[in-house]
Copies of this chain bind each other. A is one copy, B any other.
Amino acid sequence: MPISANNPDRTSWLHVGKNSDFPIQNIPFGVFLTRDDIITIGTRIGDTAIDLGALHQLGYFEGIPLTDDIFLQDTLNDFIADGRKTWRLVRNRIAEIFDAENDTLKNNIPHKETILFRLDEIEMQLPIQVGDYTDFYASKEHATNVGTMFRDPNNALLPNWVHMPVGYHGRSSSIIPSGIPIHRPQGQTMPEGADKPVFGPSKLVDFELEMAFITTDANDLGEPIPIEEAEEYIFGLVLFNDWSARDIQKWEYVPLGPFLGKSFASSMSPWIVTLDALEPFRVESPKQDPKPLEYLQTKGKKSFDINLEVGIQPKGAKEATVCKSNFKYMYWNMAQQLAHHTVNGCPVNSGDMMGSGTISGPTEDSYGSMLELSWKGTKPLKMKDGTERKFINDYDTVIMRGYCEKDGTRIGFGSVKTQLLPIFNPKKKKK
């Protein structure tokens, strides 16, 4: 089936600003609360949010096999479970409805009043109920930086790293959408030189610049997904900030991996950009040496050229960009991650989420965490208000953005924006 929604020549009768992440070629999916306090599934063109529940009720998806309430839900899980063929039919139809040449809806004022919202009239929600969340560790530069800092610069990568996309299970319950503030976590740490641990607020709260992909129902218990089929099960991608408390993590993580150092929060951008929309931006993955085992071998372009950046905005100050990276730096691509994840028969379901791991590039300004950017705190970063940061301070807001650009078409993810508040105070809550 051709992805006509990707036609680069199409324009929309809805206004799309020059540098918008959301031209009619994007058509991402999200969940929002409308001005009437109704939760619905929607999409976005330019700065207009489109209520897909209303569009469906008014008959605009006629001929596409969809249940009546598929968009009148508080998560995208059921729609994602419908599979790639349905996603394409829906995206293609939305592109037709909003095509500059099509005035059916354009000229129907009552319908437009029901379907279209300004962004300030809606509130974006978590778009999926995350069943399982897995985090990979797939950037060679990141793994090398961390290995250099904490182990041995001459053997920075552990032996398994070049043979498999190393990953671990993360916590689903603390995944939140952009805009929700979080509290600085408390926990156990072992101060340098101390002989017993102490309890208190984490002193080393960090972001991790990641992207995450969201899957559909893929396989039954016991059945691996062959690598050549893997991308069929990827619905789309989001920006992902995998918040980390480095001091808690350091003390707890041997031998079973990260736990409370990560599970206090992970933030995602609210619009899921489909893998289909990203088709024009495919690039070759980094060369892999040694050659991976057969079940991990991919052909063709399996990586995506997505520009990423991170800003820190102290309270009352302007935002400073602290990192510019790219999703294409990932050593292990998404198809490899999904094939590896299921090679043992582990089931993957609609709404599962797989984080890339921190995406660091080759240069010092492309590192995807404060740990690496400030090199363990030895090189503080300058903020716009003159203050310095080794890690994230209370009341700082961390903002991640991402977009692709090629031949005049820009497809973007918007942003994921999260403010770090001081530790939770139970007395304050009871007031």
Verify A171–B224 contact, CB threshold 8 A. Answer: no
Q: How far is the CA of A190 from the CA of B223 in the complex (A)?
A: 23
Q: How far is the CA of A259 from the CA of B263 in the complex (A)?
A: 17
Verify B131–A173 contact, CB threshold 8 A. Answer: yes
Q: Please provide the chain A residues from 347 to 372 with a CB less than 8 Å away from any CB of chain B in the complex.
A: 347-349, 352
Verify A131–B176 contact, CB threshold 8 A. Answer: no
Within 8 Å CB of A137, what residues of B?
Answer: 256
Within 8 Å CB of A187, what residues of B?
Answer: 343-344
With A163-B197, A197-B293, A340-B260 in contact, is A346–B168 under 8 Å at CB?
A: no
Which of A199, A255, A263, A347 gathers most chain B CB within 10 Å?
A255
Q: How far is the CA of A196 from the CA of B163 in the complex (A)?
A: 9
With A131-B172, A253-B255, A260-B341 in contact, is A222–B163 under 8 Å at CB?
A: no
Q: How far is the CB of A290 from chain B (nearest CB, A)?
A: 7
| Residue ID in chain B nearest A159 by CB atoms | B190
Verify B256–A166 contact, CB threshold 8 A. Answer: yes
Q: How far is the CB of A410 from chain B (nearest CB, A)?
A: 33
Identical chains in the assembly: 2
Within 8 Å CB of A199, what residues of B?
Answer: 293-295
> Which of A72-80, A244-252, A298-306 lies on the face that meets chain B?
A244-252
Verify B166–A252 contact, CB threshold 8 A. Answer: yes
How many chain A residues touch B (CB < 8 A): the figure is 68
| Residue ID in chain B nearest A202 by CB atoms | B344
Verify B167–A256 contact, CB threshold 8 A. Answer: yes
Mask: chain A, 188-226; 1 = CB below 8 Å from B; 0 = not:
101000001111001000000000000000000111100
Within 8 Å CB of A254, what residues of B?
Answer: 158, 160, 255
Q: Is A170 an interface residue (CB 8 A)?
A: yes
Within 8 Å CB of A259, what residues of B?
Answer: 166-169
| Residue ID in chain B nearest A222 by CB atoms | B183
Within 8 Å CB of A53, what residues of B?
Answer: none
Which of A163, A170, A174, A256 gathers most chain B CB within 10 Å?
A256
Q: How far is the CB of A145 from chain B (nearest CB, A)?
A: 14
Within 8 Å CB of A374, what residues of B?
Answer: none
Q: How far is the CA of A265 from the CA of B221 in the complex (A)?
A: 8
Which of A171, A261, A352 gathers most chain B CB within 10 Å?
A171
Within 8 Å CB of A159, what residues of B?
Answer: 190
Verify B173–A346 contact, CB threshold 8 A. Answer: yes
Mask: chain A, 318-342; 1 = CB below 8 Å from B; 0 = not:
0000000000000000000000110
| Residue ID in chain B nearest A137 by CB atoms | B256
Q: Is A185 an interface residue (CB 8 A)?
A: yes
Q: How far is the CB of A425 from chain B (nearest CB, A)?
A: 10
Q: Is A82 an interface residue (CB 8 A)?
A: no
Q: How far is the CB of A11 from chain B (nearest CB, A)?
A: 41
Mask: chain A, 151-188; 1 = CB below 8 Å from B; 0 = not:
00000001110011011111111101000101101111
Within 8 Å CB of A340, what residues of B?
Answer: 260
Verify B345–A132 contact, CB threshold 8 A. Answer: no
Verify B168–A263 contact, CB threshold 8 A. Answer: no
Within 8 Å CB of A256, what residues of B?
Answer: 137, 166-168, 253, 257-258
Q: Is A271 an interface residue (CB 8 A)?
A: no
Q: How far is the CA of A202 from the CA of B343 in the complex (A)?
A: 12
| Residue ID in chain B nearest A295 by CB atoms | B199
30 CB contacts below 8 A, A to B, read A131-B172, A131-B173, A158-B254, A159-B190, A160-B188, A160-B190, A164-B197, A167-B256, A167-B259, A168-B257, A169-B169, A173-B349, A173-B352, A180-B221, A183-B222, A183-B345, A186-B224, A186-B344, A186-B345, A187-B344, A196-B290, A199-B293, A199-B294, A199-B295, A222-B424, A257-B258, A260-B340, A260-B341, A260-B343, A260-B344
The 3 A-B pairs at the shortest CB distance, nearest first, are namely: A257-B257, A185-B344, A168-B256
